[in-house]
Amino acid sequence: GAVVSQHPSWVICKSGTSVKIECRSLDFQATTMFWYRQFPKQSLMLMATSNEGSKATYEQGVEKDKFLINHASLTLSTLTVTSAHPEDSSFYICSASGALAGGRGYEQYFGPGTRLTVT
Amino acid sequence: SQQGEEDPQALSIQEGENATMNCSYKTSINNLQWYRQNSGRGLVHLILIRSNEREKHSGRLRVTLDTSKKSSSLLITASRAADTASYFCATFRDSSYKLIFGSGTRLLVRP
């Protein structure tokens, strides 16, 4: 149980275009989803927290108009990188947490990540 | 922002040897977690140690926590080539469920 998927696993786009990344919890309801960004050989940096049905909370320094997050259902959150530029190229990882049978509320389950390359 | 630093940044050992990586954090915590990340992949939760615990074992993993020094260590015994990955410690920020990760240790286990 507790499987989180991301789609696509990798994407290449041209500068100025928008890219949507999906994060799905496959076998549990995710009341909260988190989006992280990771540059090569660096740690994960939390970008935003999204709760189902409400607006996302962005970390300091993250442009909310640049990185649009939608958490429309308990199993799906999307991150849209708008007007992408080469500096947006990165590895984007989502995680999901929610009440699981016998589980602990604090556990986060991570997706496999999406590698975005903006040319 | 990152919670703390991990050292070493990179570690290369021979298969069968033990690997020790350290994590320091800045704020008070209720628990500390360790994650593994294979190259270009998501994170896998390894172990959680609570603030009132000093040591915890899980298979070949041994985690220690010293709250007075705000530090933790992860020991992998009898390492295998498949242990090659990056290892991150993480704590919750404030009383939220927002995870803050350490800088990570890249472990290479040579066969």
Please indicate whether, in this complex, the C-beta atoms of A113 and B41 are within 8 angstroms of each other: yes
Compute CA A21 distance to the chain's CA centroid, rounded to the nearest angstrom: 7
pLDDT of B6: 86
Residues of B in contact with A117 (CB under 8 A): none
Q: Compute the half-sphere exposure of residue B32: CA atoms within 13 Å on the CB side of its CA.
A: 30
Pair A55, A68: CB distance under 8 Å: no
pLDDT of B90: 94
B101 CB near a chain A CB, below 8 Å?
yes
Could you read off the pLDDT of A61-107 as tens digits, one per residue?
A: 999 999 999 988 889 999 999 999 999 999 999 999 876 544 555 67
C-alpha separations of A74 from A20, B9, B43, B47 in Å: 18, 37, 21, 26
A7 CB near a chain B CB, below 8 Å?
no
Please indicate whether, in this complex, the C-beta atoms of A93 and B40 are within 8 angstroms of each other: no
Could you read off the pLDDT of A9-35 as tens digits, one per residue?
A: 999 999 999 999 999 999 888 888 999
Evaluate if residue B91 carries a pLDDT over 50.
Answer: yes
Which residue, among A108, A109, A114, A115, would best test binding to B if mutated, counting the most B CBs under 10 Å from its CB? Answer: A108
